[in-house]
Amino acid sequence: MSRPGSRDKMGGGRLKVRVKTGKGRTVSQKNWLERQLNDPYVHEARKLGYRSRAAFKLSEIDDKYKFLKPGGLVVDLGAAPGGWSQVSAQRVKSVEGKGKVIAIDMHGMDEIPGVTIFKKDFYDEDAPAVLIASMGGAKADVVLSDMASHATGHRQTDHINIIALVEAGYDFARQVLKPGGTYLAKVLRGGTENQLLSAMKKDFATVRHVKPMASRDDSAELFVLATGFRG
């Protein structure tokens, strides 16, 4: 997969776009738009047909740890707009019928070749059963979670909210993963709570925090990667 090589290299040779305030934009909106226009990962995602720059985060993590394999079954939680599902479908070759990708998000998303999509809140009581039924009796090789709650601006509250999502995804992963499987989830700076991390280390051979190059330097996000599910 062609993708940006480094943050510095990607910025080279392109003039910085500056956005003026006005037209009803706040300063924060102006700063966000300026960052998007100057983000090389955003440009590359558009060029390659990815729905979000997040596709490169998963690509980079998988390039190093190699858990998305042809024929694999992947469940993508909090999948919209679909960048992770696109990468997963390519790598497990679900379009060719060799693997399977199942995605769920409360906001829904447009169809993606090789991906079964459910517009549903993962917190719905029946959501796990819906996903398990779609798996057709098979166990998953990988469970992905890029789920995030709306930021409150209060650091501790945001951390608590995202850890709750990580825990929900982890509980589901324990139900559906086959031995040797992988769970990847987004967390925030500060990492995974010690109690949860201890539990994950009992269930998986290796648990680590990773931050791919495509994750912005000023972003608080990290990812917890648990590999080698003990079953």
The residues assigned a catalytic role are 186
Beta-bridge mates of residue 22: 25
For 77, which DSSP code?
E
- Give SS3 for 113: coil
CB 122 within 8 A of CB 77: yes
Contacts 24+ apart (CB under 8 A), 106-115: 107/80, 108/80, 109/51, 109/79, 109/80, 109/81, 109/82, 109/85, 110/82, 112/82, 112/85, 112/86, 113/89, 114/89, 115/76, 115/82, 115/85, 115/86, 115/88, 115/89
